[in-house]
Structures are given as C-alpha cells and as structure tokens.
Structure 1
Amino acid sequence: MTVEKIDTLVVGAGQAGLAMSEHLSDCGIRHLVLERQRIAERWRSERWDSLVANGPAWHDRFPGLTFDDIDPDAFATKERIADYFAAYARHIQAPVRCGVEVRQVEKTVGRPGFTVTTSEGVIEALNVVAATGPFQRPVIPPLVPEDAGVVQLHSNAYRNPGQLPEGGVLVVGAGSSGVQIAEELARAGRRVYLSAGPHDRPPRRYRGRDFVWWLGVLGIWDHAAPRQGAEHVTIAVSGARGGETVDFRHLAAQGITLVGMTRSFSGGVMQFAPDLAENIALGDRNYLSLLDAADAYVARNGLDLPEEPAARHFGPEPDCVTHPIGELDLAAAGITTILWATGFAVDFGWLKADVLDDRGRPMHQRGVSTEPGIYFVGLPWLSRRGSSFIWGVWHDAKFVADHIATRRRYLAYEASPEHETEDA
C-alpha cells in the first residue's frame, strides 16, 4: 500500500482550514487540506435557509478578498459566504482535496510525525492541524424523551417554518440562532415560546457605527480571556433584514412569549427557572455598558459621531416578564415542536493523541497543543475574543503557521561534526 507523505495536514476546509492554507503557503510549507464534503459545507447544509452573517461584509471576511457584489455594510447570505470561501480557495490556490474523511490520527512510533487514516488511504504528516471549528456535535439536553409526542430538532437541522409540523414551537436558547429562528417562526404566524437564559446583547449599530467597529476600536475583540463565568455566554445579535438590535421586549410585542431557562420536563409539562427578568436585565446591562464605553471613546478622542439618546430608552416590560410562566403543558399550549438552539460541543474522537482533557476538550496554548506537531485553529477564545470569527481565525492561523515554520527549522538542524557528542 502506497503511503502519501506531507509536511502538514490540515483537517477541514472551512474558514479555519483555508486561513491555515494561506499562511502555510506564505511560509513555504508543503501541505494538504482534507475536507470530507465541500468547502465551507456547514454554511451550505447545516444552517437555516434565511441565515445571513452576523457581521457586515466589510468586517466578516479575510484581508485578501472582498465581497465585490454586495454593499460593505450589508450582511452576506449563507450561500454567498460559502461561495466566498470557495472563491478564496481558488484565490490562494489552496491544495484542498474534497470528499476525503479523516478517520484517525495517531502518533507515529519511533520518529516525528503522525499516521493519518482517511477514507482514501493512509497519509504520514509531520504536523496535523485540526481546523474543524467549534460547531461539530449539536447539543440537545437530555430532558424530553423521544416518545413525548413532540418533534425535537436542533437548530442545525432547522431550515424554514414549512419544515415543521403545524402547531406552536418552543425555542430553547436565546443566542443569535434562537432569537432569529423564533422571530422567523413568529412572522410566519406560528405561536412561539422562547426560553431565554443569560446573554450578552450588543447594539447592532450605535452612533452610526456597527457594534463590530466598536468592539474593534475599544480593543474588546482582542481580550485574551473571557470575564469569569462568561466563557460560554451567548450573544444575541442579528444581521437579518439589514441588521437589527435584538430586543426581547420587541420580540414579546410581536407575540413571542418569553420564558426563563428550560429546567426540566415531566408528564408532558416543561418547567422553567424563575430567572427571566434577571436574564433580560443582564442583557440590558451588557448593552448599556457598551454604549457607555462608546460614548467615553467618542468624548476622549473628539470624534464627530451623532449622539443617539434614544438608544438608551427601553420599552415597557411585557406581561410575560412581569408575570413569568413557570411551567408549560406542551399539549395544552399546542406545542408540537421543540427547537433546541443550545449550541455545539467539539468532537475530536478521531484524534488519538494525548491532546484532549478528560472532557474531550483540546489542551493548547494559542492553538499549539501539548503534543508537538498537533495544532488547533478556529476554536472560541483560541487566543482572543475574536478567534472563532472569520477575521479572527485568519490572524490565529498566522501564529500557528509561524510556529510550524519555527519547529521545522529546529527539526532540520544538524550539529557540525566537531560539536556532536561522541559515544563513550
């Protein structure tokens, strides 16, 4: 059996894999990118039909290629984003091989490198970069049994309202996916309940600038670690309909019933925590803190940006917040679907190296793992807050590629004969 040999193997041809390919090429490192499906496949087949990017086109891209067919302040559709990455692969002449699944990576015995078993044969690589991203295994809490008489699906399997059976929908999770799907269902005439936990709620725009701009000039994208307890706090932001600030009071005014965090299920009844008002208030405080920081930045730097006092005005508290629902009989409420917008877990079961902790999470520092030659790119907080965003992963990939180049120089070193240690 012929064994293919390569210096660096990149697993995954999404935004992380392509960013790695560009920087590896810049470093002159021979590499191969393997993708089990198509380039940026998750954007095409694991997102709902109407999804658009959560950041404007001028921001959510790589430095080397713009979106030349949409306004820089517009929000690209999911198909346009997938096409962008396919075009980027051509732009940088990335050595991508599609339709090849990586099934196992293990340390090669007795010499540097790794033996990689794929659906197309075996590859030996000196380095392996896991660029499969953070959205690997959908998480559905084991609360509601399959025989409960209600359809259950994760947000990655949702496509449009017509896909769901007739009746009401309980959406669990109030991050970007949950709020956008809940609003789409409500606009389609569905009865919707939205279970909202703790969240950050930035303004879409403030004083004429998108919130991604504010996070940039305020240095927030570069925060090296989340504040304590905020590692997995969801962010409620949307680029839908040209970009709107997520406002839970407005969602309630549209007919969506807000409830607290989903806590348990028994006898056809879902129980919710009594934390809805607290969670809404937490999001408000996050929202106002960014406005305060933006105002201070404007004053300190003398910027000519229009004041926006109306941004601080909140509407009245909806009845579902002041008189929260503690439990919901799904059948009596006409709920036929539970849509779990509850995030994802990583799945590195194919990586048979000592680089994962007891919960299966990568052990690394800025993407450099505890096993020399294994790297990670595209994970949240890999090096900073922006690490899992399109532009952020590009910068992280440069650091990892430079590390690989440096390691190659060490491995290539040979001492001159007069300095080699002689055997005793």
Structure 2
Amino acid sequence: MNPSATTTATAHRPLPSHVPVVVIGGGQAGLSVSWFLTDRDIDHVVLEAQTPMHAWSDTRWDNFTLVTPNWHCRLPGYHYADDDPDGFMTRDEVVTWLRGWLDTFRPPVHTHTRVTRLQHAADGGFTLTATTESGDTELTCDEVVIATGGYPIPVVPPFAPRLDPAVTQLHSEQYRNADQLADGAVLVVGSGQSGAQIAEDLHLAGRDVHLAIGSAPRVARFYRGRDCMTWLAEMGLYETPAREYPGGTAAREKTNHYVTGRDGGRDVDLRAFARDGMHLYGTLVDGRDTALQFAPTLTRALDQADAVYNSICADIDRHIESQGIVAGPAARYQPVWEPSTDPESLDLAAAGITTIVWAIGYRPDYRWVEASAFDGGGRPMQTRGVTEVDGLSFVGLPWMHTWGSGRFLGIERDARHIADTVTARLPRDELRIAAGE
C-alpha cells in the first residue's frame, strides 16, 4: 500500500455488475475491513449511503469529546501518535484524525449509494439493489460484510406524538448546542453516555435542566492516579470474549457507563448536578399533552449507578494489590445529594419546558437484508461477526467479540478477523482475478 495515497471516492464511476466482496457502510468499521482487503489486493467495493465517516461530524454535538482515552484510537496501520495519549479528542479533532487515516490508502468507496435490498441466493452469493444519485442499480457478489452500525434507528417512546406540539422534540443525534434550542427549560430523557453528557452541556450553558434517568451505570474517570479505562484495559476487560464476560448476556445488554472526557476528563455525577439545581426523575413511562408520568425509580437508579462505580474501584484495588503496583490511596464514592422523594409526575408547561431531547438509544433495522441471520429481536446471530449464512458477515457491532468491539480499541482486530474469513472463503478464481493473475 502507498501510505501517501489520497483517498478517492468512486461515486462518479458506475458500479460493477459483479465484484467478489461488497462492504456495506463507510464508517470506521467498514473502511477497516476495506483496508485489509486493499492490502491483500482483494477486489471489493464499499457502498456508503452518505459520505465516509459522516456520522462523526453530522451526529455529534459541538462540545462532544471521546469518552475513551486517545491511546484507544487504533485503526489498521494508523494508531494515535500525538502528544496527548491520555487525553480525549474533541469531535473536530476526531474528524481530523480520521481524515489523516483516510489519506493513507485508497478505499474503493461509492458514496451516496444506499443498499435497499440484499438477497441471498440459494446456490450461494448475493444480489444487491442500491439507490445511487443516477438511479437504482444491481450487482452481485460472493461475500457481503455489513458495517452499517449496530443500531441505526433513533428510538422515541410511542407516546411522544401525544405530547403538546408546542414542545419541540429532538433526538440526541440532532442536538448540537444549547443555543439551537428555544428559550426555556429542557427535559433530557435518558442517562446513558449521550443523555448524561448533553444534560451536563445544557447545565454548564446555564439552562434549567430536567433529566429522566434510566438504569445506566457509571464509572470513575480517574482512580488511584490513572484513567479507569486504562486500568480496565490493563486488567484485560476489553479483550475478554463476550461468552466469557462476567455477568453473561445480561451484562452485555446494559447501557455503557456514563462518564466524560470533556475539559480533560471528569466524573459525571448526577447527584452533584441535582445539588446544583438540576431536576432529576426516574424512568419516564408515559405522557400526554403536558403531563408526564415517571416510575418511582430515581433513588434506586442513583444507588445502583454508584454501586457499579464503587465495584469497579474495588476491582481495580484487587488488581493493584495482586500485581504489587504502587498507586494512590483507595477510595469510595460518597453521595453528595439524596432525593427527598421519587417524583412521579411533571407538567411541562408549569416547569417552563420548551424542548425535550430523547437520548434513549437506537434500535436495529435490517429489514432490507433477506437472509436468515437474525434473532427474534432483529439482531444478527453471529460469532465474531460471522453468521451461519454462507458469505454474510458483520463488523462494528457492540459486543461482536469483546467489550472493545464497536470501539476504536477493537476495530482493527475485528476487521482483520472478518477480512481473514472473507479471504479464506473466496473462490480461487476470484482470488486470481482480484490479484490480476
């Protein structure tokens, strides 16, 4: 590969009628598979509905920062190498870093090419229908790698359309900054990484914030002199295969721990927010017009999040002791605020709330894939991304192989495995054609 090559999207070129491998999705996961296939001279195309890496600039808010330390940022042939490995890149810095990676190779990306149908042939291979700027087209291939992201469809509750239309509703991926919102208080629903950080962003901007929290756990940013995620990596947690992970499937289904890399990194302490004026509620369960109902779960949710925080600290303590590491003193989080009651209702108008930000996650959508590769919840049935459907693989899914899957830390390993699998399964004549023999 030529490290000085400039990335060239091939949207202006017609799609071939047949290609050995099609990668669907031009984010970091799909392009990582392309990197390995390109390195091996395997003929393939990457079909991207918009533009490569668009999600980083288009779906993150202005003050977004990585939650994971910069040293986690590893893509094929391109690991973070600047002078702040323990810092946290901002959104714009991530975009610049990714652009630098794309400048090191020539992925055969067809932009503005959305796959609308994928059919698996009984005798092997696939037929794809794609919508391009010049119309619909079809192509066939032997292998397909789906890299469209684990959960592309934003979730809003079924009662959202019944709420007062005077209140603006948007999903977390549409949020950019406090100034874009109408004057008035804001309700953020969801306390995962996005919800907790957006609530903080609004709080720091001086907005009156109401936050409905769910079951998301939390983690210390720094503990005993190091970033907690650096400790966890050293302990092997990000490398543990999903089937061996403590807590089993239930642990893998939980929302990620909330914490932030903003301003050099710090804890996200919802109790401290409440002490300083933020209004907290339990799980939002229903609403109509301006009236909302909450489950009485606030106290339990705060206690459980803190219990996870302290249990992770205890795990790190045991690691430090077992390895004889010299570190700072052990400590435990002590609550700085307690709710006097678990509120069960809220009137949007009375509270002056003019905007609701939904941050309750995403759901899968593989309705365009005509193959028996999904469970009852619509999630791919796969082992390290490889399905039982001959020639069909996935990459970039959370927990695809380890906790590191779906993160920068695990993409290189996962993409290499998929590229190895795809290469081994390609017919010999396809390999010769790809290599120009």
TM-score by length of 2: 0.88
Deviation at 1:264, TM superposition (A): 1.2
Q: Matches of residues 194-209 of structure 1 in structure 2 within 5 Å?
A: 194-209=211-226
Aligned match for 1:360, one of 369, 372, 378: 378
Can you list the C-alpha shifts for 1:117-162, whole angstroms capped at 9, x where unaligned?
Answer: 2224322111111001124110011123255131111101111111
Maintained 8 Å contact 1:204/1:245: yes
Residue type of the partner of 1:349? R
CA distance in 2, matches of 1:221, 1:234: 13
Q: Matches of residues 201-240 of structure 1 in structure 2 within 5 Å?
A: 201-223=218-240, 224-225=242-243, 227=247, 228-230=249-251, 231-240=253-262
Residue-pair matches, total: 408
SS of 1:32's equivalent in the other structure is: strand
Deviation at 1:411, TM superposition (A): 8.8
SS of 1:71's equivalent in the other structure is: coil
Which residue does the alignment assign to 2:3?
Answer: none
Which residue does the alignment assign to 1:348?
Answer: 366
* Gap runs ≥5 in structure 2: 1-13, 432-437
Can you list the C-alpha shifts for 1:262-303, whole angstroms capped at 9, x where unaligned?
Answer: 111145211111111111111111111111111111111111
Which residue does the alignment assign to 1:163?
Answer: 180
SS of 1:43's equivalent in the other structure is: helix
Maintained 8 Å contact 2:35/2:76: no
Maintained 8 Å contact 1:237/1:245: yes
Maintained 8 Å contact 1:34/1:96: yes
Aligned match for 1:23, one of 36, 40, 43: 36
Deviation at 1:305, TM superposition (A): 1.9
Which residue does the alignment assign to 1:132?
Answer: 148
Which residue does the alignment assign to 2:315?
Answer: 293
Can you list the C-alpha shifts for 1:49-69, whole angstroms capped at 9, x where unaligned?
Answer: 111111111113326224455
SS of 1:314's equivalent in the other structure is: coil
Residue type of the partner of 1:381? W
CA distance in 1, matches of 2:87, 2:299: 33
Which residue does the alignment assign to 2:274?
Answer: 252
Residue type of the partner of 2:334? F
Which residue does the alignment assign to 1:100?
Answer: 113
Aligned match for 2:207, one of 190, 193, 198: 190
TM-score by length of 1: 0.90
Distance 1:254 1:56, change over 3 A: same
CA distance in 1, matches of 2:265, 2:403: 21
CA distance in 1, matches of 2:55, 2:83: 22
Deviation at 1:316, TM superposition (A): 2.9
Which residue does the alignment assign to 1:332?
Answer: 350
Residue type of the partner of 1:176? Q
RMSD, matched Cα: 2.2
SS of 2:75's equivalent in the other structure is: coil
Q: Matches of residues 293-332 of structure 1 in structure 2 within 5 Å?
A: 293-309=315-331, 312-318=332-338, 321-332=339-350
Distance 1:69 1:3, change over 3 A: closer
Can you list the C-alpha shifts for 1:317-375, whole angstroms capped at 9, x where unaligned?
Answer: 24xx2323221111111111111101111222222222223432212222112211111
Residue type of the partner of 1:314? Q
SS of 1:322's equivalent in the other structure is: coil
CA distance in 2, matches of 1:245, 1:64: 32
Maintained 8 Å contact 1:261/1:272: yes
Maintained 8 Å contact 1:39/1:85: no
Aligned match for 2:265, one of 240, 243, 247: 243
SS of 1:10's equivalent in the other structure is: strand
CA distance in 2, matches of 1:64, 1:357: 35
Identity among equivalent positions (%) equals: 38
Distance 1:316 1:68, change over 3 A: closer
Maintained 8 Å contact 1:48/1:158: yes
Distance 1:63 1:203, change over 3 A: farther
Deviation at 1:408, TM superposition (A): 2.2
Which residue does the alignment assign to 1:422?
Answer: none
Q: Matches of residues 140-155 of structure 1 in structure 2 within 5 Å?
A: 140-145=156-161, 148=164, 149-155=166-172
CA distance in 2, matches of 1:387, 1:169: 33
Distance 1:80 1:165, change over 3 A: same
Residue type of the partner of 1:341? A
Residue type of the partner of 2:102? A
Return structure 1 stretches of 4+ with deviation > 6 angstroms: 410-413
Maintained 8 Å contact 1:27/1:402: no
Deviation at 1:313, TM superposition (A): 3.8
CA distance in 2, matches of 1:104, 1:145: 30
SS of 2:47's equivalent in the other structure is: strand
Aligned match for 2:301, one of 279, 289, 312: 279
Deviation at 1:308, TM superposition (A): 4.4
Maintained 8 Å contact 1:174/1:234: no
CA distance in 2, matches of 1:42, 1:233: 20
Maintained 8 Å contact 1:39/1:82: no
Maintained 8 Å contact 2:275/2:336: no
CA distance in 1, matches of 2:142, 2:412: 22
CA distance in 1, matches of 2:254, 2:362: 11
Q: Are residues 1:181 and 2:198 paired? A: yes
Maintained 8 Å contact 1:16/1:378: yes
CA distance in 2, matches of 1:357, 1:218: 32
CA distance in 1, matches of 2:155, 2:83: 34
CA distance in 2, matches of 1:65, 1:254: 42
Residue type of the partner of 2:143? N
CA distance in 1, matches of 2:78, 2:23: 21
SS of 2:404's equivalent in the other structure is: helix
